[in-house]
């Protein structure tokens, strides 16, 4: 069974290229796969930002959502920007329920950022992740486990293998119930984007 493809930005933004001027038109730098890669200005830069989602936007984030948010881009310009970013290794479009998702999970890893704020009664069973002053987002058990444990595993697939036993009998009724890493992977991928949108981490090549 397949579902709706999701859009994932890849890499950690390092800022504008020192040799260019103009934040939108000039080139930018992104760390990915142990390299500093060029992110062209204009449409590719705009789309890479939009791939992180927009405040208050739907989750998980799909190519259709990104296209709707980039209302000034024609269909051709949007697809050219997607292809450019994918060619540079800075964007992934993947269906979490597809066979390709497992191959993707073996080739990518997650780096977490920000601070953990634990769980409080007023957060209705959610964990807080954010800055030193307080949480920027509240997440469920699985998203928190991904944020906490995925960075110490070599790949997303290794993270699934490590976390799957805990979700054979999950602690809460709204947690996914899985029999192994294959079952857990779609749930993991659907929780990655809200973390990326809140700058709680970034996807990277393994």
Q: What is the pLDDT of residue 125?
A: 80
Q: Rounded to an integer, what distance in angstroms lies between the CA atom of residue 69 and that of residue 64?
A: 9
User: What's the whole-number mean pLDDT along residues 174-182?
Assistant: 90
pLDDT in tens, 152-163: 999 999 999 999
Q: What is the pLDDT of residue 116?
A: 83
- On the 0-12 / 13-18 / 19+ scale of CB atoms within 10 A, 163 is buried
Q: Rounded to an integer, what distance in angstroms lies between the CA atom of residue 132 and that of residue 92?
A: 31
pLDDT in tens, 48-85: 999 998 776 667 788 999 999 888 899 999 999 999 99
Structure-token pair, residue 197? 């949108």
- Name the pTM for this structure: 0.88
Sheet containing strand 28-32, strands side by side? 12-16, 28-32, 35-39
pLDDT in tens, 90-105: 999 999 999 999 999 9
Sheet containing strand 115-119, strands side by side? 115-119, 127-131, 134-139
List the single range of 13-22, 167-176, 197-206 with lowest mean pLDDT: 13-22
């Amino acid at each position: 069974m397949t579902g709706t493809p999701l859009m994932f930005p890849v890499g950690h933004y390092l800022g504008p290229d020192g040799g260019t001027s103009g934040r939108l038109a000039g080139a930018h730098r992104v760390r990915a796969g142990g390299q500093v890669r060029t992110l062209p200005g204009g449409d590719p830069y705009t789309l890479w930002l939009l791939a992180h989602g927009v405040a208050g936007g739907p989750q998980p984030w799909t190519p259709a959502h990104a296209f709707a948010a980039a209302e000034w881009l024609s269909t051709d310009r949007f697809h050219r920007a997607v292809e450019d970013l994918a060619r540079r290794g800075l964007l992934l479009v993947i269906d979490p329920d597809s066979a390709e998702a497992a191959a993707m999970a073996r080739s990518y890893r997650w780096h977490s950022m920000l601070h953990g704020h634990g769980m409080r009664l007023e957060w209705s069973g959610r964990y807080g992740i954010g800055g030193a002053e307080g949480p920027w987002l509240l997440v469920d058990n699985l998203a928190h486990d991904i944020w906490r444990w995925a960075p110490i595993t070599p790949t997303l697939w290794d993270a699934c293998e490590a976390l799957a036993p805990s979700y054979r009998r999950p602690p809460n009724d709204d947690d996914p119930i899985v029999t192994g890493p294959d079952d857990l992977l779609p749930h993991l991928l659907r929780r990655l984007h809200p973390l990326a949108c809140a700058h709680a981490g970034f996807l990277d090549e393994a």
